[in-house]
Every structure is written in structure tokens, then in C-alpha cells.
């Protein structure tokens, strides 16, 4: 394998026009984890350390259910005090007792302050039950944006909520569309690709993540065709998310995604390519990995 004791990376070649070149001293071995170190050095060197998440955090596990005084929390939920009611909504969500779930549904049926309603809807989402969809269907039309978003997000726990999720992707509020994109990832309803592609063109990151979760080889090709329509950064995040999925393929489809990323400017494309190289074993040799390494060297000014 090739190594270099000194690398000079041109920020202009990497898509950072206007910044001075950064010299990084150390060793680079093709195919090693040093891609992540090099990319991080470039990003930090130009003052964009908060702009890219080099490591992809795992979703937080759901909290374990605990014993809750359901009668007391129900009384607080329905008592009219907003702060106490909101705390009670959260506490009831910590219980797997059917009575606690019923108390949340009762509160939502009788009417709650928007803050309390949003907390109650979030608690419902932590333990979805078949009868919830009727209540959620009412709240996805709520005037309050936070309440609407909480209801849409909760739809992700229900297999029969596909139409409501798709409708929410066209909501006028971005936070509600983001909640709908999260629900798409959970449920993968048919017909989600078209509205998600429209949101991708608007530069909405949750839509990019949802498309990355849905994409097969054909949808990945369609996503790549949005070069020049969608912002480079969000398009790179979408293609990168597709590329690192272990179930995505076949190899010719991975090659096409790598080639699309190579055409994109900006730090997101560099991160996506680096993540793929890091996630893919050096052997057996894959053309997609080889081309990703070559694209990285080109973007980072390597020889």
C-alpha cells in the first residue's frame, strides 16, 4: 500500500474556495481509518468543526418502562395546571400499564394545553397501540405546530398510518415535514419517494435521510439525477446514507453512487466518501471502494 509522510490538501480542490490551504503532517495509508482523521483535520482547519458529524451516532435506546402511580398522574394530567399536566404526561409514558395509556388517550380526547398535548402524544409514541391512530388522526390537523409534529412522529409506530404520513410530508411547516420524514423511515409507506424528492430539492435533511433509508438501486439512480437541482450538501448526505447501508447493492449501483458523490462539491461529499471507505473492507477489492478512494484523493489534493 502507498503511504505519504507529508500531504498538502488544497481547500479549493476540496470545495472550500476562499480558504488557505492546510498542510497536514503524518502518514496516510490507503484504505485505513486515517481517512476519518484526515477529513476531520481538514474540517477543523477551516473552522467548520461543527458543520459535519464525522461519526454517525446510534439512535438512543428507548427508556425502560417503570412503575408509575397512574391515578395520581392522571389526576395531574387532567387537573388544569399546565406544568403539572405536562410532567404527568411524560411520567405516564414511562409506564407499560394499559391504564396509563388509557389516561393519555382520555386527556387527549377531553382536550389539553398544547404543551401538555405534545408531551402526551410523545408518550403515546413510546408504546403504540392499535387504537391510537384515531386520536393521532385528529391531532395531525392541530393548529399548533409542535402538537401536529408530535402526532405525525407518533404515526411512525403504526402500520396503517401510511396515508396520514404521506399527507404530512406536504405540511406547510418544516418541523412537521421533518417529523413525517422520521415516520417514513419507521414505516416505509408506498408513495413516499416523490414527496421526499421534492423536499430534497428544497434542501431538507430529514427528507434526505428518509430517502437514504428507502432507496433501492433504481431510487438511488433517481436521487443522483437531482445533481444541480438539490443543494450539493444535502444530496451528498443522502447518497452517502445510501452508500453505507450494508443491504444496498449490487456493486454496479454502489459504483454509480460513488461517481455521483465525486461530482459534488463541499465537505458533505468528502465525509460521505470517507465514511464509505472506512465502512468497506479493503479485501476483497471492490471497484466502488477503489473509486471512492480515488475521489477522496482528488478532493483532498492528494497525488
CA dist., res. 116 & res. 100, Å (int): 15
pLDDT of residue 195 exceeding 90: yes
Q: Is 211 left (phi over 0), alpha (psi -120 to 50) or beta?
A: alpha
**Grid cell 411512525 — which residue?**
156
pLDDT of residue 260 exceeding 50: yes
Coil, helix or strand for 153?
helix
H or E element in which residue 41 lies: helix 34-45
H or E element in which residue 45 lies: helix 34-45
pLDDT digits (tens, 9 = 90+) for 42-97: 555 444 443 333 334 444 555 567 788 999 999 999 999 999 999 999 999 999 89
Would you place residue 200 in the very low, low, confident or very high pLDDT band (cuts 50, 70, 90)? Answer: very high
**Is residue 276 included in any domain, yes or no?**
yes
b/e code 40-57 from CB counts within 10 Å (16+ = b): bbbbebbeeeeebeeeee
**Is residue 118 included in any domain, yes or no?**
no
Coil, helix or strand for 8?
strand
Instruction: Report the pLDDT value the prediction gives residue 131, as an integer from 0 to 100.
Output: 87
H or E element in which residue 106 lies: helix 98-110
Copy the grid coordinates of residue 266.
463541499
pLDDT digits (tens, 9 = 90+) for 172-186: 999 999 999 999 999
C-alpha closest to that of 134 among 98, 115, 161: 161
Query: Taking the model in full, what pTM does it have?
Result: 0.79
**Is residue 169 included in any domain, yes or no?**
no
**Is residue 273 included in any domain, yes or no?**
yes
Domains identified in the chain, total number:
1
**Is residue 174 included in any domain, yes or no?**
no
Copy the grid coordinates of residue 92.
405516564
H or E element in which residue 29 lies: strand 22-29
pLDDT of residue 273 exceeding 80: yes
Copy the grid coordinates of residue 178.
421533518
Instruction: Report the pLDDT value the prediction gives residue 39, as an integer from 0 to 100.
Output: 58
Copy the grid coordinates of residue 52.
459535519
**8-state DSSP, 23:** E
What would the mean pLDDT of 212-229 be, rounded to a whole number?
97
pLDDT digits (tens, 9 = 90+) for 102-130: 999 999 999 999 999 999 999 999 989 98
Q: How many residues does the chain have?
A: 303
| Residue ranges making up the domain that contains 17 | 1-61+207-303
**Is residue 257 included in any domain, yes or no?**
yes
**Is residue 146 included in any domain, yes or no?**
no
What would the mean pLDDT of 189-196 be, rounded to a whole number?
97
**Is residue 99 included in any domain, yes or no?**
no
Would you place residue 301 in the very low, low, confident or very high pLDDT band (cuts 50, 70, 90)? Answer: confident
Instruction: Report the pLDDT value the prediction gives residue 180, as an integer from 0 to 100.
Output: 98
Amino acid at each position: 500500500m502507498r503511504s505519504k509522510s507529508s500531504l498538502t490538501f488544497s481547500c479549493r480542490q476540496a470545495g472550500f474556495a476562499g480558504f488557505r490551504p492546510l498542510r497536514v503532517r503524518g502518514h496516510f495509508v490507503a484504505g485505513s481509518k486515517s481517512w476519518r482523521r484526515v477529513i476531520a483535520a481538514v474540517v477543523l482547519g477551516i473552522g467548520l468543526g461543527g458543520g459535519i458529524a464525522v461519526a454517525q451516532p446510534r439512535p438512543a435506546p428507548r427508556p425502560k418502562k417503570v412503575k408509575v402511580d397512574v391515578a395520581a398522574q392522571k389526576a395531574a394530567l387532567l387537573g388544569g395546571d399546565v406544568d403539572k399536566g405536562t410532567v404527568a404526561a411524560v411520567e405516564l409514558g414511562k409506564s407499560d400499564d394499559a391504564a396509563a395509556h388509557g389516561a393519555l388517550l382520555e386527556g387527549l380526547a377531553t382536550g389539553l394545553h398544547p404543551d401538555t398535548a405534545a408531551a402526551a402524544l410523545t408518550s403515546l409514541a413510546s408504546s403504540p397501540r392499535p387504537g391510537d391512530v384515531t386520536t393521532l388522526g385528529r391531532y395531525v390537523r392541530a393548529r399548533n405546530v409542535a402538537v401536529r409534529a408530535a402526532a405525525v412522529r407518533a404515526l411512525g409506530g403504526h402500520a396503517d398510518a401510511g396515508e396520514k404520513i404521506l399527507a404530512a410530508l406536504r405540511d406547510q411547516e418544516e418541523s412537521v415535514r421533518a417529523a413525517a420524514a422520521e415516520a417514513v423511515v419507521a414505516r416505509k409507506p408506498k408513495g413516499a419517494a416523490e414527496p421526499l424528492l421534492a423536499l430534497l430539492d428544497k434542501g431538507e435533511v430529514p427528507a434526505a435521510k428518509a430517502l437514504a433509508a428507502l432507496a433501492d438501486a433504481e431510487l438511488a439512480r433517481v436521487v443522483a439525477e437531482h445533481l444541480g437541482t438539490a443543494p450539493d450538501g444535502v444530496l451528498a448526505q443522502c447518497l452517502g446514507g445510501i452508500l453505507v447501508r450494508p443491504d444496498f447493492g449490487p456493486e454496479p449501483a454502489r459504483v454509480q453512487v460513488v461517481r455521483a458523490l465525486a461530482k459534488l462539491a463541499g465537505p458533505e461529499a468528502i465525509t460521505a466518501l470517507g465514511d464509505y471507505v472506512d465502512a468497506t473492507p479493503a479485501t476483497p477489492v471492490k471497484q466502488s471502494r477503489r473509486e471512492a478512494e480515488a475521489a477522496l484523493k482528488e478532493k483532498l489534493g492528494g497525488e
